[in-house]
C-alpha cells in the first residue's frame, strides 16, 4: 500500500455543498449555493445562441484535431475584442498575449504557475473575502497569498480607503487579484471613479493587477462590465486578465475561458506567450475545441452576437428583479432590519451577513442552501421560491 498516509479530502466548500443539495431528498429544496444562473423554472438555460452555434458546428462537420497549445486563433482574437472593444491601442500595439484556457480557472492557474516561475519574489494579495478557491489555487502554485481589506460588514459595502492604503503600502511588484465586476462572494464592486483612483496607486507602487472576470454581463452590461479592463489597459499598465464564458454563455461544463497578459510591448508579449504555452503544455497540453467553436462563433457571427447579448441582458434583468423581490418580502417580514444590500450589491451573489449557524439552520430546517460564509446565489431565486427563501431567512434572523 502506498497511500495510507494521505489526509482525507474535506471536500470543496462550494462544490460539495452543491452535491449535498443534489442528494437532499426534500421536496421544495432551494439551491442558492453554487454560482450558476438558473432560469425562472429553476433550470440551467441552454441558450438559443449556444444551440445555434452548435448547430452550425454540426452542419460544418469536419475533424476534431488538437488545438494549438494556445487555443483557437479565432477565439483568442474574439476574446481580445470582447475585453477591449475593437481597435484598442493595446491590441494595435500587439502587447496582449491571449491564451484560450480550460475555463477561467485554468487561466488563473496557468497564470499562477507562470508568476511563480518568472516573478518568483512576488506575493499575491486577494480581497478579504474572495472566491474560496483563489487562495487554494495560488497557494497550490507556490505563491504566498495575503489579503487586502475589501468588504465592510457594517455597511454591506466597500472598505475603499483601507483597500487603497493597503495597496499603496505593498512591496513593489506584488500581484493584486481583483474582481472586475460582480465580486464573488460579496456582490460589492468598485465604482468607475474608484477604479480611476486605483490607477495611480497601481502604477506608482509598480503593482501587477490580476483581474478575474467571471461574470461579464451580469453587472451592468457586457461592455460596461469590461470598464476596469479597458481603463487599466488605457493607462498602459501590465496586467493579467482571466475571463470566463461559463456564466455569460451558460456553458459551465464546456470549460470556456481565456487568459490575457497585457505586456509592455509586442516583443515582451511574444516572450510571455511562449512561456505561457510552455506552462500549458506541461499541464493539459491544449484546450477544448468545442468550447472554442461555441465562443468564437457567438462573438463574431452577426446573427448570433445580438441574440446572445439579448440573452445576457435577460439573465441580468431577471436577477435584478429577484433582488428587488427578495428585498421587498424580507423588508416586510423583518421590519427594522436593513436589506438594502440586496439592491446595491451586483451580479449573482449577495453577502447576507448570516452567520454559519444561521446558514446551517437554513439548510437543516428549511432546505435552503447558502454557502457557509453567508453568500447567497441570487440567480437561484425565482417567483416560485423567493417568498419561501425570505420566510426561512426571517425565521433564522428572529
Ligand atoms: C462559485 O463561486 O460558486 C462558482 O464560481 C463555481 C465554483 O467553481 O466555485
> Among residues 113, 132, 212, 225, which one is catalytic?
212
Which of 131, 132, 195, 277 is catalytic? The answer is 131
**Is any ligand 1 atom within 6 A of the Cβ of residue 35?**
yes
Strands 175-179 and 208-213, bridge-based pairing: parallel
Residue 34 Cβ contacting ligand 1 at under 6 Å: yes
How many other CB atoms are there within 10 angstroms of residue 147's CB atom?
Answer: 16
Segment (H or E) for 178: strand 175-179
Dihedral pair phi/psi, residue 97, rounded to 5°:
-100, 115
From the candidates 113, 132, 189, 247, give the one annotated as an active-site residue: 247
CA of 302 to the centre of ligand 1 (A): 31
Under DSSP, the state recorded for 224 is G
Q: Is 87 left (phi over 0), alpha (psi -120 to 50) or beta?
A: left
The pTM for the full model equals 0.96
Pairing state of beta strands 151-152 and 157-158? antiparallel
DSSP string, 169-189: TSPTT-EEEEESSS-TTT---
CB 195 within 8 A of CB 176: no
Q: Where are the alpha helices (DSSP H) in 25-152?
A: 48-60, 73-84, 89-92, 103-118, 132-140
How far does residue 351's CA lie from ligand 1's centre (Å)?
15
For ligand 1, what atom is nearest to the CA of residue 214?
Answer: 5
Of the candidates 3, 16, 49, 58, the one whose C-alpha atom is nearest the C-alpha of residue 310 is 49
Q: Which of 250, 181, 259, 253 is nearest to 222 (CA)?
A: 181
* Ligand 1 atom with least separation from CA of 18: 3
| Distance of CA 45 from the midpoint of ligand 1 (Å) | 17
- What letter would DSSP give residue 334? S
What is the CA(306)–ligand 1 centre distance, in A?
Answer: 27
Active site residue 247: yes
Torsion of the alpha carbons at 103, 105, 108 and 112, rounded to the nearest 10: -130
- Return the ligand 1 atom nearest residue 105 CA: 8
What tens-digit pLDDT sequence spans the chain (398 residues)? 999 999 999 899 899 999 999 999 999 999 999 999 999 999 999 999 999 999 999 999 999 999 999 999 999 999 999 999 988 999 999 999 999 999 999 999 999 999 999 999 999 999 999 999 999 999 999 999 999 999 999 989 999 999 999 999 999 999 999 999 999 999 999 999 999 999 999 999 999 999 999 999 999 999 999 999 999 999 999 999 999 999 999 999 999 999 999 999 999 999 999 999 999 999 999 999 999 999 999 999 999 999 999 999 999 999 999 999 999 999 999 998 999 999 999 999 999 999 999 999 999 999 999 999 999 999 999 999 999 999 999 999 98
Specify burial of residue 275 (Cβ count, 10 A radius: 0-12, 13-18, 19+): middle
- Grid coordinates belonging to 22: 443534489
Secondary structure percentages of the chain, helix, strand, coil, to 5: 45, 15, 40
Three cell numbers written together for 161: 480607503
Kindly give the distance from the C-alpha atom of residue 15 to the centroid of ligand 1, in angstroms, as a whole number: 7
Q: Where are the alpha helices (DSSP H) in 303-369?
A: 304-333, 341-344, 356-366
Ligand 1 in reach of 14 Cβ (< 6 A): yes
Is residue 24 annotated as part of the catalytic site, yes or no?
no
Whether 349 is in the pocket of ligand 1, judged by its Cβ within 6 Å, is no
- Rounded to the nearest angstrom, the distance between the alpha carbon of 13 and the centre of ligand 1 is 10
> Closest residue (by CA) to atom 1 of ligand 1?
35
Q: Is 131 a catalytic residue?
A: yes
Amino acid at each position: 500500500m502506498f497511500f495510507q498516509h494521505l489526509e482525507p479530502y474535506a471536500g470543496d466548500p462550494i462544490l460539495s455543498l452543491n452535491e449535498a443539495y443534489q442528494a437532499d431528498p426534500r421536496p421544495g429544496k432551494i439551491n442558492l449555493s453554487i454560482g450558476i444562473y438558473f432560469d425562472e423554472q429553476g433550470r440551467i438555460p441552454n441558450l438559443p445562441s449556444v444551440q445555434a452555434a452548435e448547430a452550425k458546428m454540426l452542419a460544418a462537420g469536419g475533424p476534431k484535431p488538437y488545438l494549438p497549445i494556445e487555443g483557437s486563433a479565432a477565439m483568442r482574437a474574439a476574446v481580445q475584442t470582447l475585453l477591449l472593444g475593437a481597435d484598442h491601442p493595446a491590441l494595435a500595439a500587439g502587447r496582449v498575449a491571449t491564451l484560450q484556457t480550460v475555463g477561467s480557472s485554468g487561466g488563473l492557474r496557468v497564470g499562477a504557475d507562470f508568476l511563480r516561475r518568472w516573478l518568483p519574489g512576488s506575493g499575491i494579495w486577494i480581497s478579504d473575502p474572495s472566491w474560496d478557491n483563489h487562495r487554494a489555487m495560488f497557494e497550490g502554485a507556490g505563491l504566498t497569498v495575503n489579503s487586502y481589506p475589501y468588504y465592510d460588514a457594517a455597511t454591506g459595502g466597500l472598505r475603499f480607503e483601507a483597500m487603497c492604503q493597503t495597496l499603496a503600502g505593498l512591496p513593489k511588484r506584488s500581484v493584486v487579484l481583483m474582481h472586475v465586476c460582480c465580486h464573488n462572494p460579496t456582490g460589492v464592486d468598485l465604482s468607475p471613479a474608484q477604479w480611476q483612483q486605483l490607477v495611480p496607486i497601481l502604477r506608482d507602487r509598480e503593482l501587477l493587477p490580476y483581474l478575474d472576470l467571471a461574470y461579464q454581463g451580469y453587472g451592468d452590461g457586457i461592455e460596461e462590465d469590461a470598464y476596469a479592463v479597458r481603463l487599466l489597459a488605457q493607462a498602459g499598465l501590465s496586467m493579467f486578465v482571466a475571463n470566463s464564458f461559463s456564466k455569460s454563455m451558460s456553458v459551465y461544463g464546456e470549460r470556456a475561458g481565456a487568459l490575457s497578459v497585457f505586456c509592455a510591448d509586442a516583443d515582451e508579449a511574444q516572450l510571455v506567450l511562449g512561456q505561457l504555452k510552455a506552462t500549458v503544455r506541461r499541464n493539459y497540453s491544449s484546450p477544448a475545441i468545442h468550447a472554442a467553436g461555441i465562443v468564437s462563433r457567438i462573438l463574431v457571427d452577426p446573427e448570433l452576437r445580438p441574440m446572445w447579448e439579448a440573452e445576457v441582458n435577460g439573465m441580468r434583468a431577471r436577477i435584478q428583479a429577484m433582488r428587488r423581490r427578495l428585498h421587498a418580502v424580507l423588508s416586510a417580514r423583518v421590519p427594522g432590519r436593513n436589506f438594502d444590500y440586496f439592491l446595491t450589491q451586483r451580479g449573482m451573489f449577495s453577502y447576507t451577513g448570516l452567520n454559519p449557524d444561521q446558514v446551517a439552520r437554513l439548510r437543516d430546517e428549511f432546505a435552503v442552501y447558502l454557502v457557509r460564509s453567508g453568500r447567497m446565489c441570487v440567480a437561484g431565486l425565482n417567483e416560485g421560491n423567493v417568498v419561501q427563501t425570505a420566510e426561512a431567512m426571517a425565521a433564522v434572523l428572529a
